[in-house]
Amino acid sequence: MKRTWNKITCLLLTAALAAGMCAGCSPRKKVSGGSGKLSIVATVFPQYDFARQIAGDRADVTMLLKPGMEAHSYEPSPKDIIGISQCDLFLNVGGESESWLDSVLESADNHAMKIVSALDCVDPLEEETVEGMQSKEHHHAHEHDHDHGEEAESEDHEEVRDGDGEEEYDEHVWTSPMNAIAIVNRINGALCEIDPDNAEYYCGNTARYVAELMRLDNAFRDTVVGAKRHLIVFGDRFPLLYFVREYGLDYYAAFPGCAAETEPSAATVAFLIDAVKREQVPVIFYIELSNHKVADAIAECTGTGTAQFNTCHNITADDFEAGESYVSLMQANVEILREALQ
């Protein structure tokens, strides 16, 4: 998942930083365009939404990943980099999908900026390959040929490593509402430290929001406890390890969450079709911003339905304009999960 920046682009961005950010050399607070509000920059939707729930009208919150954009194709523009360098609080994921972070933060001479990385808020889980899933050897082009995939997939779970042999982690830590609470509390702590005059306001908003997240967590637990099955099937990538571990669910999927491919092998599709028929799974899931072709193909072969399961990494432009939130999207997951587990 690592990406190498174009050298010319790096030089241009460095020049932009040097020319436009001298004011960042000294500690400061509330720099958002002279509005008197804190400036918060978030790379992806969940942290953006968490921040606006906590900060309310005391901050200007910016999301770098535009609605509808594929997260793994994002690279910051010069404007984005300047926004990061001048913000009071920078919220990021902190994983391989944001491999550009180190270069940007090294260039940002803003010692007062606070940084909260989602992966630092929880115990990270390594990506895994489960039975039937497109093998890691295939989608990472490792030394083993895919024809030997059956042997690799004979284990229930295998760790996924990148092309350098390093572990890859599921970065979607917020898919567990309990993890979301941990991130929210860390954001609140950072805001109170940056702006102690409004600490009571931030803490009050945090308490109310954590109560919402606890209700969401309880809804998922009630759904799972009352279900007759505990298996879900994704005809898509599966960036939901934290979710299934939190609620004790089993899963089959076409790809690990870190996979870039959208075309699984015939063996993977056949396995998923057989599993759906054998377990009488009523719903095949796909994730947001997916073409859901694999899920549709499996559904057509098995006579089942399909549904979107929100990972919340990003949302569509229409959902963004409609005011959808992390809680509303996850509440939609509660309803569709209830159907899938019956």
The model's pLDDT over 7-52, given as tens digits with 9 standing for 90+, comes to 334 433 443 433 333 333 333 455 444 568 999 999 999 999 999 9
Backbone φ and ψ of 115, nearest 5°: -130, 130
Task: Tell me what the mean pLDDT of segment 83-100 comes to.
Answer: 92
- Tell me if 67 is assigned to some domain: yes
Q: Are residues 146 and 113 in the same domain?
A: no
Better pLDDT: 140 or 115 = 115
* 66 within a domain of the structure (yes/no): yes
- Domain assignment of residue 29, given as a range: 7-117+172-215
Any idea how long the chain is? 342
* CATH number (domain holding residue 238): 3.40.50.1980
Query: Are 156 and 278 found together in one domain?
Result: yes
288 in a domain, yes or no?
A: yes
pLDDT winner (highest mean) among 61-70, 175-184, 262-271: 175-184
Is the domain of 22 the same as that of 105? Answer: yes
Bridge-based pairing of strands 157-159 and 128-130 is antiparallel
Per-residue confidence (pLDDT) for residue 30, from 0 to 100: 52
Q: Are residues 62 and 201 in the same domain?
A: yes
DSSP labels for 249-287? -EEEEEEETT-------HHHHHHHHHHHHHHT--EEEEE
Do 264 and 140 reside in the same domain of the chain? yes
Cβ(298)–Cβ(276) under 8 Å?
yes
Statement to judge: residues 12 and 146 lie in one domain: no
The confidence score (pLDDT) of residue 149 equals 37
Given this model, what pLDDT does residue 155 score? 42
In the prediction, which pLDDT does 7 show? 37
> pTM of the entire structure?
0.83
Q: Is pLDDT of 188 > 70? A: yes
Residues 159 and 250 in one domain: yes
Residues 99 and 160 in one domain: no
- What is residue 166's predicted lDDT score, i.e. its pLDDT? 62
- Same-domain status, 254 and 140: yes
Asked if the structure places residue 154 within a domain, the reply is yes
**Quick check: 283 pLDDT over 70?**
yes
144 and 31, same domain (yes or no):
no
Is a pLDDT exceeding 80 seen at residue 134?
A: no
pLDDT band of residue 311 (cuts 50, 70, 90) is very high
Tally of domains within the chain: 2
